[in-house]
Structure 1
């Protein structure tokens, strides 16, 4: 990354040149994106603006080749840089960025930039058929009072509803689209002429949709059964838990993605109907193997969700009988050993296992060849990627939701440029790393430390203090400087080399992460796991609808429930 920070005028020129390259379909577009992405602005606002420009450039490059390469890295980079742009704005506290122009003091709205980035990011996700993930970014734009977010989210919900096989959930997607469309007509928050034109075009299309909905559901225009439904809670604790799940949209159903009322308080996600040839060799349990496995995945998710919520309610370092029989070593790094952190660890292990279980389900259901991926090597990375490319078996299916899962897997295992997934020093330890976007590098670090090394969940303030040396001479950098000044053949040089090697060996012994960042990572993985399960069911539904009738004799198989 270059040391020179760019001012507003310089970033404006970059934006103009990017627009010119896009308009002329220049072959230099990618090269220019790669040059510009290494730069930073003088402020977080300007850096966000710069990354927004880079993301737009990569997206334009993707659009030029989408017919030939759906998995182009350009769309991944476009999303990557818009996520980085949003992250830069997360630390922008001022409502406006002010700068001197030829006409005097000028102001740029932070809210407007954030809403533009959010809408584009959501739109790019829909290009990957990740409509369910796009919704939260449309909501960011709506929160910033951008009416364009209303119309684009309505469009996204309509597109998503076409694939949802559950009629009840599909209705709520329809209803939410209708509400957003009606609200958009009353809004006056579209600020630029270009946005205004697109806004009016979308509004015109949504007018037709509103007329269709009004004719289709005349009795549900003003209210529906979600307004009056009341859940039967066992006690106050039960209500508190379900309210938390609903508010965070963690119930396993499509409806909770668009409403948070008590009507959505159920885990009713199920596999869609799919056919299979009659096979008299199969036991009843084998006929239900896919349903049983999916039930196992759901149960793991629900257990992890409850465990995480339980841990959130436990105060830090609460005494418990499980560790009442021992004295803990004082490691001088503010590591927390208690029931709360162990619940977090267990929840995280469950979420990691869900990713690989989904991969195994796909392996079996879509009959991936053992010669391509040996069964014992199946995981969320290997099922979708091979040599930084989509796995060969994916080419046999024109399935948008398998492709969505492919892209989602990149958020867990980054197969792109080495060390491209951190906004700070790629070699920095986990505690110093950027835990927001992109997340793949952080997820891998946490998983590796949790399962194979040492993961310390720490109090951030105490840990930072513990990592400071009382003597500036006793630091690794000071030792390296001194080493460069010594005679390489001297005994002192040899001894110092040994000390430095031991320092490096023990410094990299494990990873540390603050309690707050750990909680954030777990919540992110919950949302990712739920989304992956929904994409899995949608991929099966799409596959079943696309099958050619081969005249084979089939009978419906009723799925029994306890």
Structure 2
């Protein structure tokens, strides 16, 4: 089979999707899953088409009275994400035509946005727009994602900025679509443009045209006067590690602090002070501490007195022994451990009733092997985002839920979990360079190794996942608090910020 035949299959997929022909789509899925190309570019396109089939099946399942749109377990969406990711991870992806790259990045972003991982979705919209700034579908869907982000937040000033950003991108997308329609008639694009104009009107109704016309200077906030502090804040900003939703809008100085906290909360009078604020304060402070430890491990090049005269025996194995790499390892382990504290918080706040000694971020969603009924069909988008992260992060070969779903989401999940296990319970060798290029390692499982650059990269990624999780945790509580009734059992408490 060649590229032209794949194109014909793609046209059939579009036809079946348009007519909501579920059976034909499932037959095409079976056909495509059997294909295995030596040409990595063809394999990448094949995975993209498979992802599109799963996307169409998901959409069909959301139609009508029996819609499963708020089901927390969505096999179609999980497979959709998996195959788009597999398409991107193929070596041949880099050789694809620009059009395919744009569609794959945008479709993957759409899947994340739909399920509640808005922060991750924005990253993939930006990947598409970095390749082609006027790609209409990435513009329109990014604007919608930013609008959804604004609805999740409890901070009205942040809501305004996100809505303004959404409005501006909608305007650009509308202009691009208008120009396309001037060149040719297209009912599909015409309908999208009509919907965009409605979205633009709704934002104008909320914020007013006068406010929307004002310029927001997101870089009027100084990074600080001290060189070391400025370097640190620039590094955090660049790596999207501030506990600040503004950091998801780009490298703007407005984002160079950590204002995230629990939203306004209602608590039963007989319970007393809201302990969840205390819990979140602690997690936030720990995260910031581990983040700085990582920065020190990466950027402290000068030998300190406490490491200057350390004697290490040369084992002739290209291993790196250094106090700074130990700081990186500590940051990795500490980031990882905070996910279980998030699980403890979820178990307590949502009154799941699980044994707190056995609660972890992977298991908190389940009762035995089934999703906890309190989560299923629970209309809390940020909480779904947390659930999706739990699938991305934790892998266990012996666990049914883990084995069935985690591998279909994050190809690196198993590697990250393995690093954590070796850091905590075994040994891990940090290599100066990748020894696989020089010699064959017989027992990688027992003698697990990784280069210092790869460890740093994965630790930053883990920190980004943790930041995303803490933001979703705050937003999920905000959504839950909005549902509480004012029936006399709740007492408002004014809280002050500690400098």
- TM-score normalised according to structure 2 size: 0.87
Q: Give the 3-state SS of the residue equivalent to 2:450 in structure 1.
A: strand
Distance, in Å, in 1 between the alignment partners of 2:185 and 2:117 is 23
Partner residue, 1:487: none
Partner residue, 1:218: 210
Distance, in Å, in 1 between the alignment partners of 2:168 and 2:4 is 41
Distance, in Å, in 1 between the alignment partners of 2:185 and 2:3 is 22
1:335 corresponds to 2:306: no
Q: Give the 3-state SS of the residue equivalent to 1:532 in structure 2.
A: helix
1:375 to 333, 343, 356: 356
Mapped contact 1:277–1:553 kept (Cα < 8 A): yes
Mapped contact 1:52–1:82 kept (Cα < 8 A): yes
1:522 corresponds to 2:459: yes
> In the TM superposition, what whole-angstrom CA distance separates every residue of 1:214-248 from its partner, at most 9, and x where no partner exists?
56151552512425x23261411211211222233
Partner residue, 2:165: 176
- Inter-CA distance 212–92: structure 2 relative to 1 (3 Å threshold): closer
- Give the CA deviation at 1:147: 2.4
1:440 to 413, 428, 447: 413
- TM-score normalised according to structure 1 size: 0.77
Q: Give the 3-state SS of the residue equivalent to 1:40 in structure 2.
A: coil
1:204 corresponds to 2:194: yes
Mapped contact 2:294–2:328 kept (Cα < 8 A): yes
Partner residue, 1:247: 238
- Inter-CA distance 446–186: structure 2 relative to 1 (3 Å threshold): same
Most deviating of 80-89 and 262-271: 80-89
Most deviating of 236-245 and 164-173: 236-245
- Give the CA deviation at 1:83: 1.2
> In the TM superposition, what whole-angstrom CA distance separates every residue of 1:358-377 from its partner, at most 9, and x where no partner exists?
111111111111xxx31101
Partner residue, 2:424: 451
Count how many residue pairs are aligned between Structure 1 and Structure 2.
Answer: 481
2:21 to 12, 25, 36: 25
| Greater relative contact order (CA < 8 Å, ≥ 6 in sequence) | 2
Larger radius of gyration: 1
Q: What value does the CA root-mean-square deviation take over the aligned residues?
A: 3.1
Mapped contact 2:266–2:484 kept (Cα < 8 A): no
Partner residue, 1:129: 116
1:512 to 436, 449, 472: 449
> In the TM superposition, what whole-angstrom CA distance separates every residue of 1:164-214 from its partner, at most 9, and x where no partner exists?
2101111111111122122224437979x9996544433333334445555
Distance, in Å, in 2 between the alignment partners of 1:194 and 1:459 is 57
Mapped contact 2:243–2:467 kept (Cα < 8 A): yes
- Structure 2 unaligned runs (5+)? none
Partner residue, 2:3: 8
Partner residue, 1:490: none
- Inter-CA distance 176–200: structure 2 relative to 1 (3 Å threshold): farther
Mapped contact 1:148–1:190 kept (Cα < 8 A): no
Mapped contact 2:72–2:375 kept (Cα < 8 A): no
- Structure 1 unaligned runs (5+)? 1-5, 98-108, 424-435, 469-502
